[in-house]
Homo-oligomer: A and B are copies of this chain.
Amino acid sequence: MTISIAHLGPPGTYAEQAAAFYVNWLSKNRQVEAILCPHPTIAQSLQAVAAGASQLAVVPVENSIEGSVTMTMDTLWQLDNLQIQLALVMPIVHTLISYAPSLDEIKTVYSHPQALAQCQGWLERFLPSVQLIPGNSTTEILQQLEQEVTIAAIASGRAAQLYNLPILASGINDHPENCTRFWVVSQSQIDTANPFLTASKSHTSLAFSLPANMPGALVKPLQIFAQREINLSRIESRPTKRSLGEYLFFIDLEADVNEAQMQSALDELTTYTEVLKIFGSYNVLSISASSSLSFENTNYS
């Protein structure tokens, strides 16, 4: 089986690392060949799956320090045909990559805004006077490092390896327990022999809007799940983009959409919501820090 996986690029991003881990994990039960397809934005990697150009996308959902990745939620709401297959929780270890002979020579640090924010304390302590420049991904700047020794980038150790670049400092994130949750998303259930993907699921994600001007109406939807003792593991609001003060609510529940309790909860939920979208049920796979970082089964498009 050959699958095409869309992710935020250029190669070496944490999304690509999660995608590569997923391919390796899938290969344990069945021979899988994967083509990794980097895209300039998270939105474009989801759109590639919605349009059928890739079978899967691996996208970041939330980070333990910086919170939700709003582009993932907004795009998932806009696209109608995507389902979550699996959640991956991956530890994030940032490294400082540069050709500078020492920290003193560095004048500018580039990275994704979330990565810069996650290393804020370290940067203030060790590089207090550098200019921080946010970009679209952690890896965007990597190919320019060789030309300019006063530039550094914050990215993964794997990215440094991939581009054969020198690491000046490792583990520079302020919170050592920093991790990011990714979703593996496809149009429909992917053909697989992996029992983890077909067994009963631990989580369901959905989103809904409420009739306008009824902000207090949020209590009802939450009660529906509380009464049935279905645990809510996350709630997030996003603007409807119609007017200030109107929100969409994104909810993660600890139950399978096929359970009878969930079916009756979702039936009742539709009586209170304006638009309800169910993004699917899935299990959560935690990637340990010591996971092998060799990915023999992946090719680059």
Q: Which residues of A contact B (CB under 8 A)?
A: 62-67, 70, 89, 113, 132-136, 175, 177, 179, 181, 215-216, 218-219, 222-223, 225-226, 229-239, 241-245, 247
Contacts and interface: CB of A to CB of B under 8 A. Distances in A.
Contacts of A243: 64, 177
8 contacts: A63-B244, A65-B241, A134-B135, A181-B244, A216-B225, A216-B226, A219-B222, A235-B235
A223 B219 contact: yes
B216 A232 contact: yes
A254 to B, nearest CB: 8
Contact of A237 (B70, B135, B175, B236): B236
A207 to B, nearest CB: 14
B233 A245 contact: yes
Given A63-B239, A134-B134, A223-B223, 18 more contacts: A62-B239, A64-B244, A66-B239, A67-B70, A67-B237, A89-B244, A133-B135, A177-B242, A215-B233, A216-B225, A216-B226, A218-B222, A218-B232, A222-B222, A234-B245, A234-B247, A235-B237, A236-B236
A113 B89 contact: no
A177 B239 CA distance: 13
Contacts of A216: 225-226, 229-232
A213 to B, nearest CB: 10
Contacts of A236: 236-237
Contacts of A136: 132, 134
A58 to B, nearest CB: 17
A179 B244 contact: yes
Contacts of A229: 216
Contact of A64 (B67, B134, B179, B239): B239
Contacts of A238: 67
Nearest to A236: B237
Given A113-B113, A222-B219, A62 B244 contact: yes
Contacts of A247: 234
Contacts of A63: 239, 244
Contacts of A177: 242-243
**6 tightest A-B contacts by CB?**
A64-B244, A219-B226, A216-B231, A215-B233, A219-B222, A67-B239
A70 B69 CA distance: 11
Interface centre among A65, A67, A179, A229 (most CB of B within 10 A): A67
A98 to B, nearest CB: 20
B239 A218 contact: no
Contacts of A233: 215, 245
Nearest to A219: B226
Contact of A215 (B67, B234, B242): B234
Contacts of A245: 233-234
A235 B218 contact: yes
